[in-house]
């Protein structure tokens, strides 16, 4: 992907563990590499189709002057998130924060932190079999949209499906959601578990009826096999109520393990 680069921009601000660093401004030097598709801007010669490095410079300056952190690690991480949220065309940022006058002995050029942060494309499966099922799915989608760590939240059409797993008794309303998130996979899991909890989910028995169920289907193209999180979802290929709505959002998405596209998994499941 193309990059817009602001290199070695110097700001005077107060960040540091020592008391004097919180009161006396020091130099901080920033380099930001912003991953963005500039093809439309280049073709139309239109600054509104790209990200203005002058605006990025202003954001860095305002953020540094408006905050005071102990660690440059915190400064880098929070600033990166701020830039990603404020400048929507930016998919990823590589950010270097240098502190040339760090208060330590010995000869050195600078102390620094380099980080990389970006938006991750994720797909979720939603389901409800208790109470006002559509209202619970509305709650889940609205919760995603109201969290600034998500954007571009798009829901498929909803379907009604028979209970799955032999325990639940009620019919389900199901859908799939496509969105971008700044959360890493573990934080994403915690976020959806919190939405389930706030939606009245009670974990009484596996595959039982529930007000709200949210499963992580895909997280970029990552393969995760932890005790509490398995991505891609290990049973998605056997679930018609997952693949039908998911195929509306990303029919050509390739499963990173089986190498099958979503529409191929659905066709194989229903015997077409």
- Partnered with residue 97 across adjacent β-strands are 30, 113
Taking the chain, what is the end-to-end CA distance rounded to the nearest angstrom?
37
Q: Which two tokens stand for residue 168?
A: 């639940």
Cβ neighbours, 10 Å, residue 100: 14
Is residue 41 a contact partner of residue 32, using CB atoms and an 8 Å limit? no
Helices (H), 45-173: 53-66, 72-86, 133-146
Q: What is the CA radius of gyration of the chain?
A: 23
In eight-state DSSP terms, residue 53 is: H
Tokens 């860095």 correspond to: 60
| 25: annotated active-site residue | no
19 preceded by a cis bond (ω within 30 of 0): no
Q: Which long-range contacts (CB under 8 A, 24 or more apart) does 215-218 make?
A: 215/124, 215/125, 215/127, 215/242, 216/122, 216/123, 216/124, 216/185, 216/188, 216/189, 216/192, 217/122, 217/123, 217/124, 217/125, 217/176, 217/242, 217/246, 218/121, 218/122, 218/123, 218/253
Q: Exactly one of 3, 25, 86, 99 is catalytic; which is it? A: 99
Q: Active-site residues: which are they?
A: 99
């Amino acid at each position: 992907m193309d990059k817009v680069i602001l290199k070695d921009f110097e700001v005077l601000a107060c960040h540091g563990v020592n008391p004097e660093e919180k009161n006396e401004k020091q130099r901080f030097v920033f380099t930001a590499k912003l991953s963005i598709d500039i093809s439309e801007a280049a073709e139309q010669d239109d600054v509104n189709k790209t990200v203005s490095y002058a605006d990025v410079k202003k954001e860095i300056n305002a953020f540094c002057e408006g905050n005071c952190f102990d660690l440059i690690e915190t400064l880098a991480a929070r600033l990166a998130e701020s830039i990603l949220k404020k400048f929507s065309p930016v998919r990823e940022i590589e950010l270097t924060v240098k502190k040339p006058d760090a208060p330590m002995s010995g000869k050195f050029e600078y102390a620094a932190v380099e980080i990389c942060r970006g938006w991750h494309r994720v797909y979720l499966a939603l389901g409800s079999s208790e109470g006002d099922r559509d209202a619970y799915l509305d709650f889940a989608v609205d919760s995603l949209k109201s969290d600034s760590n998500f954007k571009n939240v798009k829901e498929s059409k909803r379907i009604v499906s028979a209970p799955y797993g032999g325990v639940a008794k009620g019919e389900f309303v199901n859908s799939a959601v496509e969105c971008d998130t700044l959360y890493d996979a573990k934080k994403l899991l915690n976020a959806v578990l919190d939405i389930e909890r706030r939606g009245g989910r009670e974990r009484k028995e596996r595959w039982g009826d529930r007000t709200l169920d949210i499963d992580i289907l895909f997280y970029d193209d990552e393969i995760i096999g932890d005790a509490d999180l398995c991505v891609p979802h290990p049973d998605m290929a056997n679930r018609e109520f997952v693949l039908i709505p998911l195929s509306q959002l990303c029919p050509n998405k390739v499963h990173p393990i089986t190498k099958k596209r979503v529409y191929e998994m659905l066709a194989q499941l229903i015997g077409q």
